[in-house]
């Protein structure tokens, strides 16, 4: 993120960051994206995402994705 911070400062722009890894949930993806909560990264299975229930997925969305999108709306 250091580059993003420098760019935002140089452009006098607002930078919105999540502080959450895209391996947990990718807030830059639409809700229906298959890789919103990626099961693998390159060739590595992400154990915390393998077999994620709909309830667990919804919780991640509510705790991370929605607040991010509420901020940028």
Contacts of 15 (CB under 8 A, 6+ apart): 4, 5, 7, 8
- CA dist., res. 7 & res. 23, Å (int): 24
How far apart CA 20 and CA 18 sit, in angstroms, is 5
pLDDT tens digits along 7-48: 999 999 999 888 899 999 999 999 999 999 999 999 999 999
Residue range 43-72, pLDDT digits in tens: 999 999 988 999 999 999 999 999 999 999
pTM over 0.85: no
Is 43 a domain residue? Answer: yes
- Residue-level pLDDT at 42: 92
Give me the pLDDT at residue 73, please.
Answer: 87
Specify the number of domains making up the chain.
Answer: 1
In a domain, 6, yes or no: no
User: Domain for residue 4, yes or no?
Assistant: no
Contact 24, 37 (CB under 8 A): yes
- Whether residue 63 lies inside any domain: the answer is yes
Domain that holds residue 33: 21-72
**10 in a structural domain:** no
Tokens of 37: 């909560």
User: What token pair was written down for 38?
Assistant: 């990626």
């Amino acid at each position: 993120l250091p580059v993003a911070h420098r760019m935002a400062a140089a452009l006098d722009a607002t930078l919105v960051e999540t502080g959450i890894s895209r391996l947990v949930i990718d807030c830059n993806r639409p809700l229906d994206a298959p890789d919103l909560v990626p099961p693998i990264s390159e060739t590595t299975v992400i154990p915390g995402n393998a077999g994620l229930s709909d309830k667990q997925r919804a919780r991640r969305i509510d705790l991370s994705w929605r607040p991010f999108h509420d901020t940028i709306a």
